Amino acid sequence: MFTTRRSVTIILALLVVAIQYPLWFGKGGWMRVWDLKNQLAATEQHNQELKARNARLASDIKSLQEGDEAIEDRARSELAMIKRNEVFVQLLDAKTTMPDEAEQKPIEKSQKAEKPRKQER
C-alpha cells in the first residue's frame, strides 16, 4: 500500500511537470512572452530615436528651403567656405600645444634654398 501511494504521488508530480513545461518553455509560454516584451521595448526605443532624427532632418530641410542663411551656415561649417574679401581666423583650444623651437629639427645647409644670383650683363 505504501508503494502504491508513493507511485501515485510520483506519477501525479510528473504529470504536473509535464503540464507546466509548455506553460514556461512552449511556443506561447512565459519565456517567449518575456522575450517578445523585451523585443517590443527595444523596437519602440529605436522608433523614438528615428522619429527624433526625422524631426531634425525635417527642420533642416525647412530651413534650407526658406532662406540663404542656413545654406551659408552649412557651407561655412561643413565645407570651410568663406566670402570674398573675408579673412579666416582659426582659434586653437587651450589643450592644443604648438611644438617648441627646440623640438623642431634644424634645417641643414643642403636643405636651405639658395638665393638666386643676379646675372651680370
Compute the average pLDDT of residues 93-118.
57
pLDDT above 90 coverage of the chain, percent: 21
Could you tell me if residue 41 is inside a domain?
yes
Could you tell me if residue 103 is inside a domain?
no
Could you tell me if residue 69 is inside a domain?
yes
pLDDT given for residue 104 in this prediction: 53
Domain limits for position 75: 2-79
pLDDT given for residue 75 in this prediction: 81
Residue 39 grid coordinates? 523585443
pLDDT given for residue 112 in this prediction: 47
Could you tell me if residue 100 is inside a domain?
no
Residue 98 grid coordinates? 604648438
pLDDT confidence bin for 111, thresholds 50/70/90: very low
82 DSSP assignment: -
Over the stretch 41-99, which tens digit does the pLDDT of each residue have? 999 999 999 999 999 999 988 888 887 887 888 888 788 788 888 887 778 887 766 65
| Alpha helices (runs of H) in the chain, residue ranges in sequence order | 2-25, 30-66, 68-79
Cα–Cα distances (Å) from 98 to 91, 101, 105, in that order, read 13, 9, 14
Could you tell me if residue 115 is inside a domain?
no
pLDDT at 106 over 70: no
Q: Tell me how many domains the chain contains.
A: 1
Q: What is the pTM of this model?
A: 0.45
Residue 34 grid coordinates? 518575456
Cα–Cα distances (Å) from 111 to 12, 107, 108, 114, in that order, read 97, 6, 5, 9
